[in-house]
């Protein structure tokens, strides 16, 4: 299964990013225009009806473009259904700290899924929340089942990354590291 389910709507670049990676892009219900809120029932129904083992793109916080996020209780239900269906959660976290004003709180959904035993893919951008937009600072993390799987995933990521850039710039990453490790 090479499909990824994305919320309807989602950030405009999500579709070409995954299509250009050779994936089939499908949508799941997310936004309810009538209420300007989350179509939670539709979202759960679509997650349940997807074939077992499907990949789902989830906005960790500050959903782009709607700004509508599930509550923690709703995230718990989503996690349970995804666990039952053996789905792969792929979190996009581009606005951590902007949804609630608290970076820890905005990472709660990701932590919940990891605590619930999901293998998780996480794409994080630090461009906006650290004021480093031109630096394109971010991270891609994968939570694996065990050390052996981790080695296989790391090997594949290195194969993919090497032709994209030889030596990534470190200035932005060092700025973020300094900020995150400075006790105030």
Residues labelled as active-site residues = 11, 92, 128
**Beta strand 3-8 with 24-29: parallel, antiparallel or unpaired?**
parallel
The values of phi and psi at residue 178, to 5°, are -60, -45
Cα–Cα dist 59/69, whole Å: 8
Tokens of 35: 């209420």
The kind and range of the H/E element at 102 are none
Place of tokens 């594949």: 156
Q: Are 25 and 70 in contact (CB under 8 A)?
A: no
What is the 8-class DSSP label of residue 10?
-
The values of phi and psi at residue 58, to 5°, are -125, 135
């Amino acid at each position: 299964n090479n499909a990824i389910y994305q919320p309807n709507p989602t950030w405009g670049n999500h579709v070409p990013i995954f299509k250009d990676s050779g994936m089939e892009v499908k949508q799941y219900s997310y936004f309810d225009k009538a209420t300007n809120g989350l179509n939670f029932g539709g979202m759960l129904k679509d997650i349940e009806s997807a074939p077992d083992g499907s990949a789902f793109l989830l906005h960790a916080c500050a959903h782009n473009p709607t700004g509508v996020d599930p509550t923690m209780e709703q995230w718990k239900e989503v996690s349970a259904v995804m666990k039952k269906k053996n789905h792969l959660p792929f979190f996009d976290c581009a606005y951590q700290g902007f949804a609630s004003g608290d970076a820890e709180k905005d990472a709660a959904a990701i932590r919940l899924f990891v605590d619930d035993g999901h293998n998780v893919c996480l794409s994080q951008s630090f461009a906006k929340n650290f004021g480093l937009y031109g630096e394109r600072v971010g991270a891609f993390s994968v939570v694996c089942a065990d050390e052996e799987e981790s080695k296989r995933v790391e090997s594949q990521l290195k194969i993919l990354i090497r032709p994209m850039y030889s030596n990534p710039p470190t200035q932005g990453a060092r700025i973020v590291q300094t900020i995150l490790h400075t006790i105030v």
